[in-house]
Amino acid sequence: MNTTKPDRHRRKPVGVLAGALVLLSLASVNPLAAAPSSAPRRADPIEKGATRLRHHPASARLPSETNSPVLAPLAAQWHRLAPELVRCPTTRSNHTVNLAIHRIRQAPGRPVLVFIHGLLSDHLTWEYVAAALAADYELWLVDLPGCGDSDAPKPSAIEPDGYSPTAMGERVWQALRVGLAAEASAAPRPLTLVGHSLGGTVVIRMVSAPELQASYAAELEHVARAVLLAPCDLAINSVPPQFRTLQGLKGWKVTAGNALGVFDGQVRDVTKASYHLPDCATGEQQAFYAHALKDPRHREAGKAMLREFVRFDPKTLRPVWPCIDPLVADYENIRIPVLIVYGAWDETLPSAMGHQLKDQIPGAVLVKLPGRGHALPTEDPLTCAMLIQRFQQGRGFNEVASGLGAKVYRAPAVVEEPPLLSSTVQPGPQATIPAAVP
């Protein structure tokens, strides 16, 4: 395990799946629309996103996060936190991948929140949320394989399913095992797993896959609950066009777009279209979008994640239900309280998916936020932080979203059939919301 202090001001990849996929769609229509860089991510210049755009015409710029009354104090607080970078070697099928965890210990001895990001992103998806929660929790921000400061092996260099949610979940468990072992002498602290988008799917596999439950039973005992922000259900019955675009994206398209100077304007337009709150469409976010597709290692890892997550026949584009059904059936194995949060205006993964997950995960609660989209951690970080904190504290489902103008939905209770043959037959227990974990 190696521990270093990361550069807090380096360029960040996009934390918004919706906008990235739209950008990819543009790149597919116009092969000159997107831009790459062959340089590794950690070799990027140390500069803020808005500053990087200062030489572009005013029409190509977006306001900085420092101009937003909500984001500015959170961004300032994030830069004061100085996360500690811990690199944990993880091994699966004899392939070793170093996984990065960024630990924030402003509140030592407090419960731990573990954050897992989504596609084409990294731990910096959580910078605003982390800034809001750091005073009350210890935070562990994970970079999935192929992302951020974790190793990004070529998909062909590791096991065939190496970028699947199950594989990434197993590597996260191994990294968490290292973190938990480091504090073995201290009193055990509860963990809350928090995932966004594809990261939410990784969390689902971590707590539901039988093979992971068996191999990491000791670590699972530490997990008190889970929060899933706009998670992706494994049962997708059609391939979204943007997903097909990502799979077909080639590096030469990105290179040509950058060389001809058409990239920045499209990134700006995509950034503006990705948020329902205008203050969140910032120059920093514009820079995140730009970087998401420039690093070929991260781009190829993202394509592999998508390919191994979406179980579709590549020729017919029909879902491979014999592969999907067992994964969905595993949802019933979840034995911890789960909070699902969706934006009512999510244009990437519709909130109907949240209703389906809520009905399939025992005792889950769904909260729908009005006027919000897919990019919940960067569009409404204060609401996300409040929901996470209230749920971690064990508040009842009515209290979790109190005062937020959100709608709350519970999984339906099981209605028992009356006995047919004997009045002495006793009905089985009805399903209920799990009791709060202290």
Residue 148 lies in a domain: yes
Most confident of 7-16, 104-113, 222-231: 222-231
352: helix, coil or strand?
helix
**Where does the pLDDT of residue 3 fall: very low under 50, low under 70, confident under 90, or very high at 90 and above?**
low
Q: What is the pLDDT of residue 352?
A: 93
pLDDT at position 163 over 70: yes
pLDDT in tens, 72-92: 999 999 999 989 999 999 999
**Across the chain, what does the average pLDDT equal?**
80
Find the mean pLDDT for residues 99-121: 94
pTM of the model: 0.82
Looking at the 3D structure of the chain, how many domains does it have?
1
Do 27 and 34 meet the contact criterion of CB atoms below 8 Å apart? Answer: yes
More confident residue, 424 or 106: 106
Q: What is the pLDDT of residue 296?
A: 87
**Where does the pLDDT of residue 245 fall: very low under 50, low under 70, confident under 90, or very high at 90 and above?**
low
Residue 54 lies in a domain: yes
**Where does the pLDDT of residue 239 fall: very low under 50, low under 70, confident under 90, or very high at 90 and above?**
low
Residue 425 lies in a domain: no
Find the mean pLDDT for residues 374-384: 96
Please give the helix or strand (H or E) that residue 339 lies within, else none: strand 338-343
Q: What is the pLDDT of residue 214?
A: 98
Find the mean pLDDT for residues 170-185: 89
The rounded distance, in Å, linking the Cα atoms of 427 and 46 is 65
**Where does the pLDDT of residue 362 fall: very low under 50, low under 70, confident under 90, or very high at 90 and above?**
very high
Find the mean pLDDT for residues 351-356: 94
Look at residues 6, 177, 148, 164 and name the one whose alpha carbon lies nearest to residue 88.
Answer: 177
Q: Exposed, middle or buried: residue 385 (CB in 10 Å: 0-12, 13-18, 19+)? A: buried
Long-range contacts of 260-264 (CB under 8 A, 24+ apart): 260/32, 262/30, 262/32, 262/33, 263/33, 263/34, 263/35, 263/290, 264/53, 264/56, 264/60, 264/290
pLDDT in tens, 388-436: 999 999 998 889 999 999 999 997 764 444 444 433 333 333 333 233 3
The rounded distance, in Å, linking the Cα atoms of 303 and 122 is 15
Residue 115 lies in a domain: yes
pLDDT at position 161 over 90: yes
**Domain that includes residue 9, residue range:** 2-410
Find the mean pLDDT for residues 28-48: 35
Do 11 and 44 meet the contact criterion of CB atoms below 8 Å apart? Answer: yes
pLDDT at position 42 over 50: no
Place of tokens 């949240």: 354
Residue 215 lies in a domain: yes
CATH of the domain at 150: 3.40.50.1820
Residue 108 lies in a domain: yes
Q: What is the pLDDT of residue 242?
A: 55
Beta bridge partners of 342: 368
Lowest average pLDDT, out of 68-72, 241-245, 387-391, goes to 241-245
Strand pairing of 138-143 and 95-104?
Answer: antiparallel
Residue 420 lies in a domain: no
Find the mean pLDDT for residues 186-215: 95
**Where does the pLDDT of residue 285 fall: very low under 50, low under 70, confident under 90, or very high at 90 and above?**
confident
**Where does the pLDDT of residue 176 fall: very low under 50, low under 70, confident under 90, or very high at 90 and above?**
very high
More confident residue, 271 or 346: 346
Residue 429 lies in a domain: no
Beta bridge partners of 191: 112, 223
Q: What is the pLDDT of residue 318?
A: 84
Centroid of chain to Cα 158: 22
User: For the residues of 147-190, what is the DSSP string, one character each?
Assistant: STTS----GGGS-TTTTSHHHHHHHHHHHHHHHHHTTTTSPP--
pLDDT at position 162 over 90: yes
Percent of the chain with pLDDT over 70: 74
**Where does the pLDDT of residue 309 fall: very low under 50, low under 70, confident under 90, or very high at 90 and above?**
confident
Instruction: List the structure tokens of 260.
Output: 């001809």
Percent of the chain with pLDDT over 90: 56
pLDDT at position 251 over 70: no
Find the mean pLDDT for residues 173-192: 86
